[in-house]
Chains A and B, each alone.
Chain A
Amino acid sequence: MSSHEADPRDAGRRDLEIRRLYRARPRSRFARWSGAALVLLVALAWSSSELRFGDYFSERRMANLERFLGELRPYPLQGKDFDLSVAASWAGEVLRGKGWAAAGVTLAMSVAAIVLAALGALALTLYAARTLASPEPYLPAPRPPSRARLWTWRAVVALSRALLIFVRSIPEYVWAFIFLAVLGPTAWPVVLALAVHNSGILGKLTAEVVENLDPEPLAALRGLGASRMQIAAAGLFPLILPRFLLYFFYRWETCVREATVLGMLGIVSLGYWIVDARARNHYDEMFFFVLIGAGIVLVGDLVSAVAREVIRRAA
């Protein structure tokens, strides 16, 4: 060590260099203001009168918590020693009565929704990606397009993007609530709600992928005289497929989570039985349905992870 610091002038020069590098570090005023604004927001939130930690752990609430934890035990076992065979037969009964069917419905809702969302997203992407949705995609035209056509396409892109933002800003739960009132109690409201919200998210992500594509192969197709739809079918979709499938499975994981919950609106998925058991104060059943829901989510995450790995290796 000491040999490095033998010459104090060296050390001084080093310090200067470090200081120069420190001053030259990348900085963004926007990022710093954003950080400050967020800290302020969080401080405001915690100092608001609505959020108080004080009474959260009051005696009354703790007593309530203790009673609640006791009632999570399967009913035939409450106040008795734990017996695995009794617990298993109780669980089997709940599963046969409601559990398996509700789990199947939940899973089916998520699958139907994400498939519809993918179709919606692909359709909207064609009009939201600026590179494709233009009067003359990928190659300059022999004659420049008329101003009217140029502005028409710009309006189409702006409208498609606004639609994508709007459908994804409204949460699935709100969509389902509205669809349920309009369509009545079939599985459609939940499926449509998930499909609409997720086509907004998938559509935005896919449009970005399309805009970042290497334009050369697509320009070649255009040069051969392909129409916009032909470019999409023969060049664009095959090129974006790996990325699209990755997003597809990511969003499917979310759909499985949401499908569990949307049953709370009255469609018989797991969420329905969760709020139903809560309304009847059968906390043991409620907790069991929550566990089944968590199990489905875990299975979904696992399937999605495997599928994404296959796609990633193929890409």
Chain B
Amino acid sequence: MAPEPGAVPGRRWSGHRGLVLVVIVAAGLWAGFELDLDPRDLLPGEGGWAIARELFAHALSPALDYEDEVPEGTRPLLLKALEAARLTVIFAAAAISLSVVFGVLLGFAASTAWWIGDPAGGHGAGTVARRSVRPLIYGVARVVITLMRSVHELIWAVLLLAAFGLSQLSAVIAIAIPYSGTLAKVFSEMLDEAPRDSALALRAAGASPAQVFLFGLLPRALPDMTAYAFYRFECALRSSAVLGFFGYPTLGYFIAASFENLHYGEVWTYLYTLFVLVALADWWSGALRRRLVG
């Protein structure tokens, strides 16, 4: 159909955008009714008010020492918070290092960019075999990535807990599985979207497929990949803290314990510790991104 004279280009699609908005509003209303979300329930009951008041009263005065008597020889509160922060960082760093290794391997397998390393032409048996096996690698990698990503790290933690029993290593592996999947997905997209001019030039100059990939393609995607891995480290810190709610001695464990003992000042001490950790990682990954990606 010829466009009407004077029609604004893209007009037809902006109608679809309106449709997306209508669907979102309708879905929101459906969700509200499905869950019986009653605005009146947003007002806490009497006990709730007491907790909210106490909690907010302590927001600006986090505890610097225990709020109750503690047995002699207990480490000072701030030292305990630091120790919990250390373990939070250790779990996150170990998990992200595993995730980067598996993310790179899987991401490479799930990208099609390295296929161009193959010199044009060539009809030998080896070439044919290689070309028919590539889509298979691609498909398997995609399925594995999707399965890893579709289960949340806390559910992996529950599964590993049931399968292996309590071990600190389970916490690291639980985070590393979905994070490897996410890194692999994003890495593969970055490799596929990286400019291919230098790779094609190397291939024309007679470089081997490995050289084409390592020196032509990878360097173009590497800054983005590094910046994204750093961002995921920040997310891993939060995940690692939350694993504390499942018994691992990271920050979440102490947040839950202090909350249940009504030590709201201590809750804020741990919350602010987590806040500082995440804000530092946020600043670090942001500064690095500006320098790498610009």
Known interface pairs A50-B90, A50-B168; A65-B163 also in contact (CB < 8 Å): yes
B60 at the interface (CB under 8 A from A): no
Q: Is the CB of B288 within 8 A of A31?
A: yes
Q: How far is the CA of A184 from the CA of B16 in the complex (A)?
A: 40
Known interface pairs A30-B288, A184-B44, A314-B17; A297-B150 also in contact (CB < 8 Å): yes
Within 8 A of A (CB), among B27-53: 27-28, 30-32, 34-38, 41-42, 44-45, 48-49, 51-52
Known interface pairs A45-B94, A65-B163; A261-B152 also in contact (CB < 8 Å): yes
Interface size bracket, A side: 35 or more
B172 at the interface (CB under 8 A from A): yes
Known interface pairs A111-B27, A283-B162; A169-B152 also in contact (CB < 8 Å): no
Q: Is the CB of B291 within 8 A of A174?
A: no
A36 at the interface (CB under 8 A from B): no
Within 8 A of B (CB), among A15-57: 28, 30-31, 34-35, 38, 41-42, 44-46, 48, 50-53, 55-56
Which stretch from A101-109, A131-139, A225-233 is at the chain B interface?
Answer: A101-109
Q: Which residues of B have CB within 8 Å of A183? A: 41-42, 44, 48
Identify A28's interface contact among B89, B149, B291, CB under 8 A: B291
Question: How many residues from B make CB contacts under 8 Å with A?
Answer: 76
Q: A276-288 toward B: CB 8 Å interface, digit per residue (1/0)?
A: 0010000100110
Q: B142-179 toward A: CB 8 Å interface, digit per residue (1/0)?
A: 00001101111011001100111101110010000000
Q: Which residues of A have CB within 8 Å of B17? A: 241-242, 245, 310-311, 314
Q: Which residues of B have CB within 8 Å of A48? A: 90
Interface of chain A, main secondary structure = helix
Q: Is the CB of B242 within 8 A of A174?
A: yes
Q: B260-294 toward A: CB 8 Å interface, digit per residue (1/0)?
A: 00000000000100110011001010011001100
Q: Is the CB of A42 within 8 A of B97?
A: yes
Inter-chain residue pair count (beta carbon < 8 A): 202
Q: Is the CB of A42 within 8 A of B94?
A: yes
Q: Is the CB of A108 within 8 A of B97?
A: no
Determine which residue in B27, B51, B245, B275 has the highest number of CB atoms from chain A within 10 A of its CB, and name it: B27
Q: Is the CB of A293 within 8 A of B155?
A: yes
Q: Is the CB of A169 within 8 A of B37?
A: no
Q: How far is the CA of A108 from the CA of B29 in the complex (A)?
A: 10
Determine which residue in B89, B96, B291 has the highest number of CB atoms from chain A within 10 A of its CB, and name it: B291
Determine which residue in A105, A165, A182, A241 has the highest number of CB atoms from chain B within 10 A of its CB, and name it: A182
B137 at the interface (CB under 8 A from A): no
A68 at the interface (CB under 8 A from B): yes
Q: Is the CB of A173 within 8 A of B242?
A: yes
Q: How far is the CA of A301 from the CA of B233 in the complex (A)?
A: 23
A149 at the interface (CB under 8 A from B): no
Which stretch from B62-70, B116-124, B251-259 is at the chain A interface?
Answer: B251-259
Determine which residue in A35, A42, A274, A278 has the highest number of CB atoms from chain B within 10 A of its CB, and name it: A42
Identify A51's interface contact among B168, B226, B256, CB under 8 A: B168
Task: Tell me the smallest distance from the CB of B246 to a CB of chain A, in Å.
Answer: 9
B24 at the interface (CB under 8 A from A): yes
Chain B residue with the shortest CB-CB distance to A110: B31
Identify A274's interface contact among B27, B28, B96, B155, CB under 8 A: B155
Q: Is the CB of B162 within 8 A of A56?
A: no
Identify A261's interface contact among B24, B34, B155, CB under 8 A: B155
Q: Is the CB of A260 within 8 A of B152?
A: yes
Identify A169's interface contact among B89, B90, B151, B279, CB under 8 A: B279
Interface of chain B, main secondary structure = helix
Q: Which residues of B have CB within 8 Å of A315? A: 13
Chain B residue with the shortest CB-CB distance to A283: B162
Task: Tell me the smallest distance from the CB of A245 to a CB of chain B, in Å.
Answer: 6
Q: Is the CB of A171 within 8 A of B32?
A: no
Q: Which residues of A have CB within 8 Å of B274? A: 169-170, 174
Q: Is the CB of B20 within 8 A of A112?
A: no
Q: Which residues of B have CB within 8 Å of A177? A: 245, 255-256, 259
Q: Is the CB of B155 within 8 A of A260?
A: yes
Q: How far is the CA of A187 from the CA of B37 in the complex (A)?
A: 7
Identify B90's interface contact among A45, A188, A278, A295, CB under 8 A: A45
Q: A38-B233, A171-B242, A183-B41 provided; 13 other pairs, C-beta below 8 A?
A: A35-B226, A52-B168, A56-B164, A112-B35, A169-B275, A174-B255, A178-B55, A181-B48, A184-B48, A260-B152, A261-B154, A298-B150, A314-B16
Between-chain CB contacts (< 8 Å), 24 pairs: A28-B292, A34-B288, A38-B93, A41-B93, A42-B93, A53-B169, A64-B163, A68-B162, A112-B31, A165-B282, A173-B252, A174-B242, A174-B252, A184-B44, A245-B20, A248-B24, A257-B152, A271-B155, A278-B162, A293-B155, A307-B20, A311-B17, A311-B20, A314-B14
Residues of B within 8 A of A (CB): 10, 13-14, 16-17, 20, 24-25, 27-28, 30-32, 34-38, 41-42, 44-45, 48-49, 51-52, 55, 87, 89-91, 93-94, 96-97, 146-147, 149-152, 154-155, 158-159, 162-165, 167-169, 172, 226, 230, 233, 238-239, 241-242, 245, 252, 255-256, 259, 271, 274-275, 278-279, 282, 284, 287-288, 291-292
Instruction: Please list the 3 inter-chain residue pairs (A to B) with the smallest Cβ-Cβ separation, ordered nearest first.
Output: A314-B13, A115-B28, A112-B31
